[in-house]
Structure 1
Amino acid sequence: MLFINFTSGNLNKILSRLFTTGILAAMGIFGGIVPEISPQFPQLSMISYAYAQDYTQDEVVNYARAGFQVEMLRQQVYKEIKGIINQPPPDIVCNQPATLENLSSNVKKIATKYCDDSRQIVQRNNLTINRFNELKQVYDRGGSFYQQVQNILIELQRP
């Protein structure tokens, strides 16, 4: 059987810790520091996450161009695979080979070519795969980078 003793001393101690943690968390978040509680170490630690502009204007343009070209290729490959298997294709993640394992040989060949072509597109636009993926995370957060990329994408789609 489980008994919980709510004596005023224990309750005050718990409430005091919750209140202090809440205040520290709020101050940290507003100051760009994110509180982290680790299960291995029962203490509160503060980790600073910088969200400063960590990209160049060239990278904005290169990311937008590469992303646009990869998306055009993705749409083409999606239609091609859908026509073969008569249903929407499963998720294919180029850096996760397990997503290719259960595909038929002809679909696997198309998916592998898509992954290779996507890598080449990214590299032709002067980005490494790792940098492209980092910029994708920045893009997904929204903000200035997202808006700059959107403006370039509008330009790329004009006749």
Structure 2
Amino acid sequence: MKKVSDFFSLPNRKRILSQSFFFGVIATVGLISNSFSSSSKTYAQAPPVNNTEIKNYAQAVLAMEPARQKAFEEIKKLIGNGEIPKIVCNDSNSINGLPRKAQDIAVNYCTQSQKIVQDNGLGIDRFNKITIELQNDTNLKREVYNTLLRLQQTPDK
């Protein structure tokens, strides 16, 4: 029988933090992918995601996360106690509803995220298609999760 303290051991905390991080990243990626999608939403059958794309996708997501957190914190400071609205990069209404300085932060983040995706060897359309696939493919989700963990443990590889 497990003791309560066993649930808070270092390996369990690391696993829980990793899982929480992964699900937070996937939620963030879902929002970001909406930001890059074009107004015409025709999704043909996407080719299978290969190992290189999985690694590139995971690297892009990890590279975007610090910028996302920074932008969120900066916007939060500007808005104060108010609720931060959902910001979708390709929806000018979601950005225009922000105070001017917050708009600049959001636009900068969107531009930076798009560049990160491209710098990691993926086009925006492919990044979005992989994000959509993640929502429907448990095996792909597991592969991306494992890649995220591996990249965090050995960031130079």
> When the two structures are superposed, what TM-score results if normalisation uses the length of structure 1?
0.63
- Determine if the alignment matches structure 1 residue 110 to structure 2 residue 105: yes
Partner of 2:77: 83
Q: Runs ≥4 in structure 1, deviation > 4 angstroms?
A: none
SS of match in other structure, 2:98 = coil
> When the two structures are superposed, what TM-score results if normalisation uses the length of structure 2?
0.64
Structure 1: runs of 5+ lacking an equivalent? 1-48
Distance 1:91 1:77 in 2: 13
Higher-Rg member (1/2): 1
Partner of 1:36: none
Q: Structure 1 vs Structure 2: percent identity of aligned residues?
A: 34
Partner of 1:67: 61
Counterpart pick for 2:51 among 49, 57, 64:
57
- Determine if the alignment matches structure 1 residue 92 to structure 2 residue 84: no
- Please show how residues 1-159 of structure 1 align to structure 2 within 5 Å: 54-86=48-80, 87-158=82-153
Structure 2: runs of 5+ lacking an equivalent? 1-43
Point out which structure has higher relative CO (alpha carbons under 8 A, 6+ apart). Answer: 2
- Higher fraction of helix: 2
For the aligned residue pairs, the C-alpha RMSD in angstroms reads 1.9
What code does the residue aligned with 1:131 have? Answer: R
1:71 positional shift: 2.4
Over 3 Å counting, the alpha-carbon distance change for 1:121 and 1:78 in structure 2 is: same
